[in-house]
């Protein structure tokens, strides 16, 4: 109904305009210098309207061709993205299946058509690492940095991890120190630094790093003592192995009070002191540690050290009998100390007590020594044989 009314209105307006044009067509004169043009008014109006329609059509065609160009560009871009995704997915599947060369090629092809090729270059570097082509690996990492320089930390971390995995520890350390300048508190950087320092045996640097490892929760507070123990043990052991006497003492001074009585560290330092002739300090160190926490390992070491004042050493050991009289290592320690003092009767009693408590081999051997000292070589030989067999003969 609306369309019919609109058609009628158009016909009416057209008929009315036709009548008016026929009755009075009007007159227009356009003059410019020696040039002039005459035309009816209604012709000028119609010419202007026709020109407007032509311009509108030209504009519409232009916009349509531009939209077509944009659509075509979008279509081809979409096709390129799909190819890139397919190649990248195939590359990752090849990587997961262990086809390193194929993975590298597919990932690089995908990178050429990708708008964000960073992940392709990083994965290609990992694939090159698997084939031990480190030159190509570094080349791909450089390409990753070139296409996305703002991802510098991520790229350098990948490089450091790959270098660490390839046992290129010096290169990994250099890379990590470079990242430290950019992101000094990055947890993953600190974790990798910890791993590298442990691998190269740089426990001095690891000790300096420990507060940052704790603050960034790379090492949990609950594991602090274990980590400190590991570091100080390694530092002491390294200095002792290299026979760096002054450094050994410095390493011991660095040990925190909470670990000064730990059997592992006390055993290392006391053994070092005893070998260097400082047996008095070694015995005092062990005795102090034993008063805080009992250790079969330390009482055994205590009995093996030849202190200048044997009687004093024995009395210290006897002071532990009240609380640890059932400890066979303490009884054996006292056996040795009594033998050193030539207290043969007490030594024999302690030795027999150790045999009764089940420490057969060592106690039998010591009892053999006591018999030999008493002038009974044949009987001593029998006990030596029993000691080697670990059984008591009737």
For 316, half-sphere exposure in the C-beta direction (CA atoms, 13 angstrom radius) is 20
Task: Give pLDDT, residue 81.
Answer: 73
User: Residue 233 pLDDT > 90, yes or no?
Assistant: yes
pLDDT of residue 244: 86
Q: What's the pLDDT at 32?
A: 62
Q: Give yes or no for residue 142 having a pLDDT over 50.
A: yes
Do 186 and 176 form a contact (C-beta atoms < 8 A)? no
Mean of pLDDT values over 291-304:
94
Residue 73 has pLDDT above 50, yes or no: no
Please provide the DSSP assignment of 166-183 as one string.
TT-HHHHHHHHHHHHHH-
CA distance 373 to 331: 20
> Would the pLDDT of 295 be above 70?
yes
Task: Yes or no: say if 148 and 120 are a contact pair by the CB < 8 Å rule.
Answer: no
% of the chain with per-residue pLDDT over 90: 57
Where are the strands (E) in 33-188, listed by range?
Answer: 35-39
Cα–Cα distance, 184 to 321 (Å, whole number): 54
Distance CA 197, CA 227 (A): 13
pLDDT at 16: 60
The residue written with tokens 């059932």 in the block is: 326
pLDDT at 26 over 70: no
Q: Is the pLDDT of residue 175 over 90?
A: yes
What's the token pair of residue 81?
Answer: 């993205």
In the block, tokens 């320089």 appear at 149
**Mind listing the domains of the chain with CATH numbers?**
81-147 (1.25.40.10), 319-394 (1.25.40)
Average pLDDT score over residue span 131-141: 94
Helix axes 296-304, 263-275, angle to 10 degrees: 10
Q: What is the mean pLDDT of residues 144-161?
A: 95
In 3D, which of 184, 183, 155, 159 has the Cα closest to residue 173? 159
SS3 state of residue 32: strand
Query: Any idea which residue has 């250790």 for tokens?
Result: 295
Of the two residues 46 and 284, the one the predictor is more confident about is 284
Long-range CB pairs of 215-220, under 8 A, 24+ apart, other chains included: 215/185, 216/185, 216/187, 216/190, 217/187, 218/187, 218/190, 218/191, 218/194, 219/194
Share of the chain above pLDDT 70, in %: 79
Q: At what angle do helices 310-318 and 296-304 cross, to 10 degrees?
A: 160
Instruction: Dump pLDDT digits (tens) for 90-109.
Output: 999 999 999 999 999 999 98
Say if CB 359 and CB 332 are below 8 A apart. Answer: yes
In the structure, how many helices (H) and strands (E) does the chain have? 20, 2
On whether the CB atoms of residues 336 and 304 are closer than 8 A, the answer is yes
Predicted confidence (pLDDT) at residue 10 exceeds the cutoff of 70:
no
Using the predicted structure, report yes or no on whether residue 372 has a pLDDT greater than 90.
no
Mean pLDDT of the chain: 85
Match 């510098």 to its residue by tokens: 152
**Distance between CA atoms of residues 383 and 368, nearest Å:** 5
Cα–Cα dist 6/55, whole Å:
26
Q: Is the C-alpha dihedral spanning 63, 64, 66, 70 positive or negative? A: positive
Read off the pLDDT of residues 31-69 as tens digits, 9 standing for 90 and up. 666 666 666 656 656 666 666 667 767 776 666 554 444
pLDDT band for position 72 (cuts 50, 70, 90): very low
Residue 77 — pLDDT band, cuts 50, 70, 90? very low
Which of 57-71, 267-281, 293-307, 366-380 bottoms out in mean pLDDT, i.e. has the lowest?
A: 57-71
Higher-confidence position of 67 and 126: 126
Query: Per residue in 380-393, pLDDT tens?
Result: 888 888 877 755 55
**Distance in angstroms (rounded) separating the CA atoms of residues 330 and 207:** 36
Is a pLDDT exceeding 80 seen at residue 239?
yes
Q: Which residue has the higher pLDDT, 388 or 118?
A: 118
Read off the pLDDT of each residue in 364-373 and give the average, rounded to a whole number.
86
Instruction: Report the candidate in 174, 115, 119 with the shortest Cα–Cα distance to residue 144.
Output: 119
User: What predicted TM-score, i.e. pTM, was given to this entire model?
Assistant: 0.71
pLDDT at 144 over 90: yes
Q: By mean pLDDT, which of 27-31, 125-129, 313-317, 368-372 is the weakest?
A: 27-31
């Amino acid at each position: 109904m609306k369309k019919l009314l609109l058609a009628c209105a158009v016909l009416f307006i057209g008929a009315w305009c036709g009548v008016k044009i026929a009755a009075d067509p009007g007159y227009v004169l356009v003059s410019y210098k020696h040039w002039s043009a005459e035309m009816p008014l209604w012709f000028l109006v119609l010419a202007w309207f026709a020109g407007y329609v032509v311009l509108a059509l030209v504009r519409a065609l232009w916009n349509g061709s531009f939209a077509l160009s944009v659509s075509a560009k979008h279509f081809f871009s979409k096709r390129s993205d799909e190819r890139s995704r397919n190649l990248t997915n195939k590359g990752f599947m090849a990587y997961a299946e262990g086809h390193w060369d194929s993975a590298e090629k597919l990932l690089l092809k995908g990178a050429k058509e990708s708008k964000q090729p960073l992940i392709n270059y990083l994965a290609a570097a990992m694939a090159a690492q698997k084939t031990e082509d480190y030159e190509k690996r570094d080349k791909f990492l450089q390409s990753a940095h070139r296409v996305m320089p703002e991802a510098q930390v991520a790229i350098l971390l990948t490089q450091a991890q790959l270098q660490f995995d390839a046992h290129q520890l010096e290169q990994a350390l250099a890379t990590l120190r470079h990242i430290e300048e950019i992101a000094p508190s990055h947890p993953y950087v600190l974790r990798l630094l910890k791993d590298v320092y442990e691998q190269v045996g740089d426990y001095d640097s690891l000790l300096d790093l420990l507060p940052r490892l704790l603050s960034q929760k790379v090492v949990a507070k609950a594991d602090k003592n274990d980590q400190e123990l590991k570091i100080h043990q390694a530092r002491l052991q390294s200095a002792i192995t290299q026979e760096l006497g002054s450094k050994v003492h410095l390493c011991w001074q660095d040990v925190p009070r909470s670990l000064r009585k730990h059997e592992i560290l006390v055993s290392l330092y006391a053994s070092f002191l005893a070998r260097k002739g400082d047996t008095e300090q070694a015995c005092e160190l062990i005795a102090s540690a034993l008063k805080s926490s009992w250790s079969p390992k330390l009482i055994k070491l205590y009995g093996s050290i030849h202190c200048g004042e044997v009687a004093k050493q024995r009395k210290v050991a006897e002071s532990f009998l009240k609380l640890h009289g059932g400890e066979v290592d303490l009884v054996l320690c006292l056996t040795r100390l009594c033998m050193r003092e030539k207290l043969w009767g007490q030594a024999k009693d302690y030795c027999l007590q150790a045999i009764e408590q089940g420490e057969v081999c060592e106690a039998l051997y010591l009892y053999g020594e006591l018999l030999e000292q008493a002038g009974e070589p044949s009987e001593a030989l029998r006990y030596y044989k029993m000691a080697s067999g670990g059984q008591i003969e009737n």
